[in-house]
A and B are shown apart, each in its own frame.
Chain A
Amino acid sequence: MQWETVIGLEIHAQLATRSKIFSGASTAYGAAPNTQACAIDLGMPGVLPVLNEQAVRMAVKFGMAIEAEIAPYSVFARKNYFYPDLPKGYQISQFELPIVGNGHLEILLDGEIMRIGVTRAHLEEDAGKSLHEDFHGLTGVDLNRAGTPLLEIVSEPDMRSAKQAVAYMKKLHALVRYLEICDGNMQEGSFRCDANVSVRPVGQQEFGTRTEIKNLNSFRFVEKAINYEVERQIDVLESGGVVVQETRLYDSARDETRSMRSKEESNDYRYFPDPDLLPVVIEDALKEEVKAELPELPDAKRERFKSQYGHDQETASVLTATREMADYFEVLVQKSGCDARLCSNWVMGELAGALNKNSLEISASPIDCERLAGLLQRIADNTISGKIAKQVFEEMWQGSATADAIIEAKGLRQITDSGAIEKIIDQVIADNPGQVEQYLGGKDKLFGFFVGQVMKATQGKANPAEVNKMLKEKLR
């Protein structure tokens, strides 16, 4: 039987506010346990929540960026359950009336644009952390994270493969960073994902029974977990079983999903409007204000890159995937004054490769725009060849010298003096009479051998175009 996969994602984006969603405590990551939890975060008797306006603004910003309905009136509700890292015994979230309604995102996969629906996005507070290690069989509770603002973004079940799911997640990741509402740091849990996965026979209208895979904190895990889960569900169905609606956990070490709790064991959260908080009223004036603050968004930027720089779809998409990359590119073009194609080749080629190899974000690149511009200028004015430029790039990566300084110090300036090149060519021809004979006898492939010999003799510094031209003349 042919199976179709159906995926919907719930993404938790930690909002980049300075203080918590309902208290004045700091949201900074990595402090000593329980040092960033005030009386409100600790759920002390008598304390009350006060909504952080910045968090509301960020949610509105997100809603506007995905062309969603912004609820003029939304309500915070209490989600009741007991857990040691949930100080009040309930989480303040939004249930029936979320702040952001229907919207959508476009993803680009294999050259095709696909629209993914966003059902809703709502504000809520994060819980603390339970620490099971280092306590000799006891559990520690760190409430620094308790009360950190989250935007939970729920997609429609519009995705049909793990690849699409990852593309959607990456797009969302880029978007929240463009909007500067989330730092996107997945290791620290600032951007994490629950995946709802089901399969159904191709052609069937109704959805199959879904499972929810919790807390996926990397793109790679999302893809692997979904693929594993799809295979598992198909196996279950094909061997005559039924998929149980349940929550599952992805074990990255074993690359498998495991059952956490079934629907029967799941909590009745007893949601009801939080009487401590007033409904959130969003006036048109606020929407206008936020709209005016919106930066150029990824899709618009991509289209602009295509028309302004003559990029193809793929190049424009890669360059605009993050705001930092796009900014880097544009500054590079401006500073170097070089051809956009030369700039994009270097950003996407050498630079991206080196960053990748060292697991660095472009914002942390050891080579800033200014220095890279200096290098590209030397390529453009023929001071060095592209090949030598790569060598210079590596030197630049290791230190802080400019391209010019390295070129001078190492004597990498290209030899363009035709007299000097001619001398070397004559020498090469004199040293290799056998090959000359074969070449003149019709073995054209040997031309490359002569070029190689000349370049070797000049340590790559001879202008390749000049070498080619002169060799052709001499070997006629």
Chain B
Amino acid sequence: MHNKSIAELRRGLHSGEYSSQELTRVFLDRMQRHQALNCYITVTEEQALEAAARADAQLAGGKAGALTGIPIAQKDIFCSKGVKTSCGSKMLDNFISPYDATVVEKFHDAGAVLLGKLNMDEFAMGSSNETSHYGPVRNPWDADAVPGGSSGGSAAAVAARLAPGATGTDTGGSIRQPAAFCGITGMKPTYGRVSRYGMIAFASSLDQGGPMARSAEDAALLLQVMAGFDAKDSTSVDRPLPDYTAGLNEDLRGLKIGLPREFFGAGLNSEVAARIEAAVDEYRKLGAEVRELSMPSLQLSVPVYYVIAPAECSANLSRYDGVRYGYRCAEPADLTDLYTRSRGEAFGSEVKRRILIGTYALSAGYYDAYYLKAQKVRRLISEEFQRAFAEVDVLMGPVTPTTAFGIGEKTADPIEMYLSDIYTIAVNLAGLPAMSIPAGFVGDKPVGLQIIGDYFTEAKLLNIAHRYQQVTDWHGRIPQGFE
């Protein structure tokens, strides 16, 4: 049952082949058995079984919604009412959210069963899931490797069949990079497509929630539920929601694919490059035209990102002050002591580093040189993407320069860690949709192909990913020990 796709599970539930309670129990058992992966911060067993019972009643009564009875898991960045929502931080270890994020509400309304809350880098700041207060997540393909981050728990859980699908968030690659490292399918939608209300903010102008699943088809089913205008999020975009599964099988003949030269430079591992080239060849066979193009400003995306994201996070994380909720230090002597010790004791070093960088970049006398300059370059990057999309339909390249690296390998050198997101960051700066899909292996470890589209072309990206998954089986591989 755990190896079935969401589409298959829907059919099984509707035909009465198995109940949601049975299905939910299967996943809860697997979660229990594979605790060593450390995917889940919170398991909501009781609520899950209750929800499954309700779903079974609805299925029996013929009143099922889009995902009625389907178990899913939420990244622990989405606030869920009455459930601990930690954001991977000691700061929120005691935080029980009084409200549901819009995304959580939508899954609830669609009838999905919440299995639990998934591990992640602290406040989504990290590329390896090693900054989590709850310890690193292990990669199902290699227990000594990282699953990627920040949505590391989500990617590992889906790859290990500890959830049929999950949510993630992507600020600089946090859905795509772990999807690539764990061999699953992940999508970062267009900025504004999925509501950010109740999704704990890291960098507000970059954050975007999206689906993580085993196939493009499953990702489409999840996105259908997650996406849509939300009046509670001013940056959410009010435009009609397409049917994401309707066009999955559309023909790809004549599709124009662009390969930015900058994605295939010196930093790219040659074996990863070979897998990407092979995947592009597969698209040629499907009738696509492929051409190279140059996007020189992409190389500025890492420095631009590491000004803008920390600047926004430095303000976004100011609310964690020990006054109203969250961690408070013991016996503060005065107000300053309350602030400094609460924040000093509860934030991890990566979070502190980014708050410091951001505070510095926004300070009087530095603002123009850093923040304002970064915003200008950000616009240049967006414009460069627009010029590219005047020529081609989508861009393709690697998601990451290498396959999953070892736990502890890059923790000592933050710059090297930051460079692991070099191919994903520009997409967030421009607000574009992009996917990561499995495109083969280097040794035992998966490689991800990145597909980047123009604004609001999620349906097209899913179609492109789905067609590839019809002619390849990389996405169907199961890591050893999780069959």
A contact set with B: CB distance below 8 Å: 39, 42-51, 78, 80, 82, 84, 87-90, 141, 268, 270-272, 275-278
Contact = CB atoms under 8 A, between A and B. Distances in A.
Interface stretch (B10-18, B21-29, B32-40, B90-98): B90-98
B207 to A, nearest CB: 9
Contacts of A271: 362
Given A48-B197, A272-B311, A90 B318 contact: yes
Contact of B235 (A39, A44, A276): A276
B141 interface: no
B233 interface: yes
Contact of A48 (B98, B196, B318): B196
A46 B319 contact: no
B472 to A, nearest CB: 38
B349 interface: no
Given A270-B359, A275-B205, 6 more contacts: A44-B98, A46-B196, A49-B234, A51-B234, A275-B235, A276-B234
A48 B95 contact: no
B204 interface: yes
Contact of A43 (B92, B197, B319): B319
Contacts of B98: 39, 44
Interface in B214-241: 231-235
B199 interface: yes
A46 B200 CA distance: 4
Nearest to B236: A48
A28 to B, nearest CB: 22
A42 B233 CA distance: 17
Interface string B78-104: 110000010100001001011101000
A278 B321 contact: no
A159 B151 CA distance: 59
A78 B315 CA distance: 8
Interface stretch (B45-53, B272-280, B363-371): B363-371
Contacts of A46: 78-79, 85, 97, 101, 196-201
In which size bucket is the chain B interface? 35 or more
A80 B371 CA distance: 15
The list of the 10 closest CB pairs from A to B, nearest first, reads A89-B318, A275-B205, A270-B362, A275-B204, A46-B198, A43-B319, A45-B200, A46-B200, A46-B79, A268-B364
A89 B319 contact: yes
B323 A45 contact: no
Nearest to A89: B318
19 contacts: A43-B319, A44-B79, A45-B79, A45-B201, A46-B85, A46-B200, A46-B201, A48-B234, A84-B321, A84-B323, A87-B323, A88-B318, A89-B318, A268-B363, A270-B363, A272-B362, A275-B203, A275-B205, A277-B234
Contacts of A43: 319, 324
Contacts of A49: 234
A90 B315 contact: yes
Given A44-B325, A48-B196, A278-B234, A272 B97 contact: no
Contact of B198 (A47, A82, A141, A272): A47
Nearest to A85: B323
Interface in B173-204: 196-201, 203-204
B454 to A, nearest CB: 21
A90 B319 CA distance: 8
A84 B371 contact: no
Contacts of A42: 324
B233 A48 contact: yes
Nearest to B372: A272
A46 to B, nearest CB: 4
Q: B-side binding surface: helix, strand, loop or mixed?
A: loop
Contact of B312 (A44, A82, A275): A275
B169 to A, nearest CB: 11
A369 B282 CA distance: 88
A45 B196 CA distance: 11
Interface in B322-341: 323-325, 335, 339
Nearest to B207: A275
B234 to A, nearest CB: 5
Nearest to B336: A82
A87 B324 contact: yes
A44 B99 contact: yes
B309 to A, nearest CB: 11
B312 to A, nearest CB: 6
A270 B314 CA distance: 10
A272 B361 CA distance: 11
Given A268-B363, A272-B362, A45 B92 contact: yes
Contact of A278 (B235, B312, B324, B371): B235
A82 B321 contact: yes
A75 B312 CA distance: 16
Contacts of A84: 321, 323, 335
B416 to A, nearest CB: 28
Nearest to A51: B234
Most buried by A among B101, B199, B318: B318
Contacts of B311: 272
Given A88-B318, A88-B319, A47 B197 contact: yes
Nearest to B195: A48
A52 to B, nearest CB: 12
Contacts of B325: 44
Contacts of A51: 234
B478 to A, nearest CB: 34
B371 A272 contact: yes
Interface string B332-361: 000100010000000000000000000100
A277 B234 CA distance: 6
Interface string B47-90: 00000000000000000000000000000001100000101000
Contacts of A88: 315, 318-319
Contacts of B199: 46
Nearest to A49: B234
A333 B87 CA distance: 68
Contacts of A39: 98-99
Interface in B81-129: 85, 87, 92, 95, 97-99, 101
A272 B234 contact: no
Nearest to A90: B315
B401 to A, nearest CB: 29
Given A50-B231, A82-B318, A276-B234, A45 B85 contact: yes
A287 to B, nearest CB: 22
Contacts of A89: 315, 317-319, 321
A427 to B, nearest CB: 84
Nearest to A38: B99
A357 B203 CA distance: 58
B476 to A, nearest CB: 35
Contacts of A275: 203-205, 235, 312
A141 B199 CA distance: 26
A37 to B, nearest CB: 10
B80 to A, nearest CB: 10
Contacts of B371: 272
